Chain A
């Protein structure tokens, strides 16, 4: 455990954005600390890159192994690194001296710690978009990303009777990685509605110049030639008593049922915004990706002075974009901290800027093609919306009819979003359901107000913090003068 109580730059998250930013910042002479929740660097996209038991490189593919090229320079850079660290608070008012910047609370192995940071860069990445279908809470139903994490970090693959369902590149990537590992999934239930390609075609020019094009098409061809793909799925249900037993789906008005042991769901990813939002970073509704995302400028700055964001946590753009946005943000921080001047920032970041532009080419095409369909984002009836508090779609819809206008009021009625995940798996759904019921836009409905601690924290953990004189005085009863 590196006990560091003061740094110039605190970076949260050791995925591509955080690793690249930390490396660049430390190389520029910034006293940098990287805190990451996982036990090893890589984030989710390069999960377990330094320790994966999957040694045959062909299984996970070269795009995964690119992650290793970020780790070595990071280790050499002089940046400090604390794995297994969960940041739960960022406050800019409570540091003893303004010059010490933000006071940050975090925990490592159930023990709370505090540190001060002049500047903070959030590189908290993305999470799976909620996929609220009937039965998605049954054991045996997982996200496709979870299956991929099991493969990367533990060398585990789903056995017989496995179905992938949803839309988006990750679904096919998992199917392809499974093929490389000798596993043919029973089916891919593709939910992309017909007509989407025509809608996406105006963006084809960018896609044709995308660095992903050739690799992406090869991967699709391989999966399509070996896996049963069922297109145009319009409804999806996971069935079972105490665990998943069957998947029921509808195509062209015809309903079929298959016996399954695993259902792996995916319909895109959304930014992991809880920490940014609780720190006061302004959020906007992305109409194409249908999610909240922080408002970030070209240099990673937000409306909160000295809090920057890099990578997918600032808007979904993928791993290569994340890496380069991390570097760009590090040059910006270096300028703000007086390590380099504006001209140096501009010159030194040129290459990262060019690579970022290249990496995001073709995103509109993908984003339009794979936008999650309405019926899989805005459920009805008994489908669970809030997994933690077990609140259903009809409960949310009925509460709107009673006059509840937004997600924060909804909490008082239903407790939705108030369980341990703190709204991470229901926030976008609840906002969209309320918007749909009220006939207004998601922007007008707004989002959960998120507060610190942004991850569950026990009182015991907090109480273990060292006490300051001020904190002692705050609770000691002074003797009355006689």
Chain B
């Protein structure tokens, strides 16, 4: 579990950004990355892996490891740590390999 420092928690209270994570509405801070918002909301996992379909969570937080891939507004394979939150964003756990769609 990660917690916000008091100042930062106040920022969430003053200017909350609403997101939906796996269908649940959560509030986060403007400027958070999607991966940070997931972790703050208590989701240590963000996807099931492509090969063995086991749970995985954010690991490097700097765009290198590609472990924090999630579905964002229906788009699969988005790097959670490299994407900033936007009000109304829908984030879903990515399950296994993405499908190739027309």
Q: Once the chains bind, are B65 and A145 in contact (CB under 8 Å)? A: no
Instruction: Point out the residues of chain B lying under 8 angstroms from A149, CB to CB.
Output: 61-62, 81
Q: Mark B4-16, 1 if CB is under 8 A from A, else 0.
A: 1101100100000
Q: Once the chains bind, are B31 and A51 in contact (CB under 8 Å)? A: yes
Instruction: Point out the residues of chain A lying under 8 angstroms from B50, CB to CB.
Output: 388, 419
Q: When A39-B84, A54-B8 are in contact, do A419 and B66 touch as well, CB less than 8 Å? A: yes
Q: Mark A169-200, 1 if CB is under 8 A from B, else 0.
A: 00000000000010000000000000000000
B65 in complex: contacting residue of A37, A59, A421, CB < 8 Å: A421
Q: In the assembly, what is the distance between CA of A155 and CA of B39, in Å? A: 12
Q: When A150-B36, A421-B64 are in contact, do A155 and B4 touch as well, CB less than 8 Å? A: yes
A153 at the interface (CB under 8 A from B): yes
Q: In the assembly, what is the distance between CA of A150 and CA of B29, in Å? A: 12
Instruction: Point out the residues of chain B lying under 8 angstroms from A388, CB to CB.
Output: 50, 66
B69 at the interface (CB under 8 A from A): yes
Q: In the assembly, what is the distance between CA of A146 and CA of B50, in Å? A: 23
Closest A residue, CB atoms, query B45: A139
Q: Chain B nearest CB: distance from A295 CB in Å?
A: 23
Q: Once the chains bind, are A53 and B59 in contact (CB under 8 Å)? A: no
Q: How large is the interface on A (under 10, 10 to 19, 20 to 34, 35 or more residues)?
A: 35 or more
Q: Once the chains bind, are B55 and A139 in contact (CB under 8 Å)? A: yes
A211 at the interface (CB under 8 A from B): no
A140 at the interface (CB under 8 A from B): yes
Instruction: Point out the residues of chain A lying under 8 angstroms from B44, CB to CB.
Output: 139-140, 243-244
B24 at the interface (CB under 8 A from A): no
A146 in complex: contacting residue of B32, B52, B59, B82, CB < 8 Å: B59
Q: In the assembly, what is the distance between CA of A242 and CA of B8, in Å? A: 30
Q: When A39-B84, A53-B31, A421-B65 are in contact, do A141 and B5 touch as well, CB less than 8 Å? A: no
Q: Once the chains bind, are A389 and B51 in contact (CB under 8 Å)? A: yes
Q: When A154-B31, A156-B4 are in contact, do A390 and B52 touch as well, CB less than 8 Å? A: yes
Q: Once the chains bind, are B2 and A146 in contact (CB under 8 Å)? A: no
Closest A residue, CB atoms, query B32: A154
Closest B residue, CB atoms, query A155: B8
Binding site for B on A (CB under 8 A): 37-39, 44, 47, 51, 53-56, 59, 86, 127-128, 137-143, 145-146, 149-150, 153-160, 181, 242-244, 261-262, 272, 387-390, 419-421, 424-425, 456
Binding site for A on B (CB under 8 A): 1-5, 7-8, 11, 29, 31-33, 36, 39-40, 44-46, 49-52, 54-67, 69, 77, 81-82, 84
